[in-house]
Homo-oligomer: A and B are copies of this chain.
């Protein structure tokens, strides 16, 4: 899958860019570009990341691109093989289960910490966010969670409230990207949105009440439910693929 959609990043218009949000180094720019390309679907799972293509595209040399690739490989979005290159990670059902296991353990802990550490302002903001999600769903007359990462908004607020940089780096940065990639490939089953919102509410209630153990438990349950849903969707799409054309 290599779609050459040439929208973003115009650096050849001869104008010195200043207002364009500033990835300070070229390596950062390459990092952002690759990341965005993956989420846009221009690079699909298993696709090879060609250093030369990217450096040409961005009109920079291969050095910064290589650094970006090495970094992204460490974070898991790319899989690096010596003398061969990097590919976009292709997540098997097994690997997805492993990722969910980590999320469950870590976000449950984060929920417990958030229940203790969140400020009052953060707690009310959490409740309000869920209210907004609810309203959005009613307005859209939809049973799926509002588009644009609203689901993650909730999780990120809790992650942030936990005041743990390590958990944040793992869940809020790396795993978030992985799951974002996953969601772009497999939708969620109809009705899951309503259910998820309900679970979110329970978790939020426990956190607002300062009940750490309950928050932890409910978050674990919520993520387990989310996992079951996504794995079902994965298996379904796997069957689809198989029924269309055998290879």
Contacts and interface: CB of A to CB of B under 8 A. Distances in A.
A74 B71 CA distance: 6
Contacts of A101: 109, 113, 164, 166-167
A99 B166 CA distance: 7
B82 A24 contact: yes
Number of copies: 2
A25 interface: yes
Given A63-B63, A170-B170, A165 B25 contact: no
Contact of A71 (B27, B71, B82, B83): B71
Contacts of A93: none
Interface in A43-71: 63, 66-67, 70-71
Taking each of A74, A76, A83, A169, which has the highest tally of chain B beta carbons within 10 Å of its own beta carbon?
A74
Given A75-B74, A82-B24, A106 B113 contact: no
A24 B70 CA distance: 15
Contacts of A113: 101
25 contacts: A24-B82, A24-B83, A63-B63, A63-B66, A66-B67, A67-B67, A70-B71, A71-B71, A74-B74, A74-B75, A76-B166, A76-B169, A95-B165, A95-B166, A98-B165, A98-B167, A99-B166, A101-B109, A101-B113, A101-B166, A101-B167, A102-B167, A102-B170, A104-B109, A105-B106
Given A63-B63, A70-B70, A76-B169, 14 more contacts: A25-B82, A67-B70, A74-B74, A74-B75, A95-B165, A95-B166, A98-B164, A98-B167, A101-B113, A101-B164, A102-B106, A102-B167, A105-B109, A106-B106
